[in-house]
Amino acid sequence: MTYLDHAATTPMHPDAIAAMNAQFALVGNANSLHGPGRAARRVVEESREAVAAALGARPSHVVFTGGGTEADNLAVKGLYWARRAEDPRRVRILAARIEHHAVLDALFWLEQHEGATLDWLPVRPDGSVTAASLEAALAAEPQTAALVTLMWANNEVGTVLPIRELAEVAHRRGVPIHSDAIQAAGHLPVDFAESGLDALSVTGHKLGGPLGVGALLLGRETKLTALQHGGGQERDVRSGTLDTPGIAGFAAAVTAARAEQPEEYLRLCALRDKLIEGVLRTVPDAVLSGPPLSEPGAKPDSESADRLPGIAHFCFPGCEGDSLLLLLDARGISCSTGSACSAGIAQPSHVLLAMGSTEELARGSLRFSLGRTSTEDDVDALLEALPAVVSRARAAGLS
């Protein structure tokens, strides 16, 4: 199998597997006061310290969740409710239409059920959002702004946003800002303190950890209303019994990803660029999404990256993305489309539409994403199979 869908989920890191295996045979609720409970609590708190150290945060900032979707919902809804409770005029949420559905659908729910007003920032053709556009939007009615939420890096096309600049703009207007950093963490030097963010979402399975475990990094002074109530765990903003084995695996994965990030960034950039150049050579009318390629010979720099190292997204004119995906899958190559499927009907990617793509072109999109286990052989296998697959998909579309 040639696996090119690491942005969906990536294989677990050996360190994460070992950390979880060490806990599976043990018993103890981290909230219990007896010996096994205290031992579980020790694992949780040491994991909290490890996650904080890897992501430039304090341990008290780390709120463990059941994954990225929960972290995004907790941040967006919790910040909105807390801000509106302080001042009923604060109902405006500033965001962009390139967000993951974990954020988008939470925003739509707040609009439909909680009186939120959604203020959509313009998206440039490369998938980026500028600090100037946020400044202009906030300047209009800063007193009505509840929060800003903008992703660190886009999960479909890989565009990296200028998060530090965006946070500076939000704070000048006294508005809290959240970022979904689920795709960025582990691939870029994500630093919560340096970013200036008030809240940041991460999850385990995107960076070599287990499924179903994530975290919301939340500033100590940031007010947030809880979504669920119970035992008061995690600063009383996320009640629920903690998954000690999962948290241990998550912490091990984050630690390993941060240690390996500088070298792995350079390796994946080279592999990604080989993939992009090969696709454009073998399928000349393929359209690369996101920022343009760097100049030949330019040294990759993760501190100023405008594209994630492991994502290459294309549109193939005259093709349906689902047809391309299934044809590649039949050849043992796994990737993803840029479209979401609702009720069995393929819809063009909301990200591409926000970037100005036509619906027809957006329907023919594929995302190839690389990770720790990706090799040149994987890229070569794709480049060998892709021209024939594209030709067959186009022929099927004409019949």
* pLDDT per position as a tens digit, 256-277: 999 999 999 999 999 999 999 9
Percent of all residues in the chain with a pLDDT value above 90, rounded to a whole number:
91
69-72 contact pairs (CB < 8 A, 24+): 69/102, 70/214, 70/238, 71/201, 71/202, 71/203, 71/214, 71/215, 71/216, 72/100, 72/102, 72/103, 72/106, 72/180, 72/201
- What does the block give as tokens for 132? 């100037």
| Cα 315 to the center of its chain, rounded Å | 21
**Please, are residues 272 and 229 in contact by the beta-carbon 8 Å criterion?**
no
Partner residues linked to 226 by β-bridges: none
| pLDDT at res. 198 | 98
Low-confidence ranges of the chain (pLDDT < 50): 342-343
| pLDDT at res. 305 | 85
Looking at the chain, which residues constitute the CATH 3.40.640.10 domain(s)? 14-255
pLDDT digits (tens, 9 = 90+) for 28-40: 999 999 999 999 9
| Residue whose structure tokens are 């912490």 | 251
Dist CA 142 CA 92 (whole Å):
9
pTM of structure: 0.95
Distances from the Cα of 296 to the Cαs of 160, 273, 292, 300, 303, in angstroms? 20, 10, 12, 11, 19
Dist CA 89 CA 171 (whole Å):
18
| pLDDT at res. 399 | 55
14-255: CATH topology is: Aspartate Aminotransferase; domain 2 (3.40.640)
The 3 state secondary structure assigned to 68-130 is HHHHHHHHHHHHHHHHHHHCCCCCEEEECCCCCHHHHHHHHHHHHHCCCEEEECCCCCCCCCC
| pLDDT at res. 142 | 86
| pLDDT at res. 338 | 64
Furthest-apart CA atoms within the chain: distance in Å: 70
pLDDT digits (tens, 9 = 90+) for 337-390: 965 554 355 689 999 999 999 999 999 999 999 999 999 999 999 999 999 999
The residues carrying an active-site annotation are: 341
| pLDDT at res. 343 | 39
2-7+261-398: CATH topology is: Aspartate Aminotransferase, domain 1 (3.90.1150)
Dist CA 143 CA 81 (whole Å):
15
Helix (H) or strand (E) holding 146: strand 145-149
| pLDDT at res. 304 | 79
Looking at the chain, which residues constitute the CATH 3.90.1150.10 domain(s)? 2-7+261-398
| Cα 97 to the center of its chain, rounded Å | 14
Helix (H) or strand (E) holding 347: strand 345-347
Dist CA 41 CA 39 (whole Å):
5
* Residue 318 main-chain phi, psi, to 5 deg: 80, 5
| pLDDT at res. 342 | 45
| pLDDT at res. 293 | 80
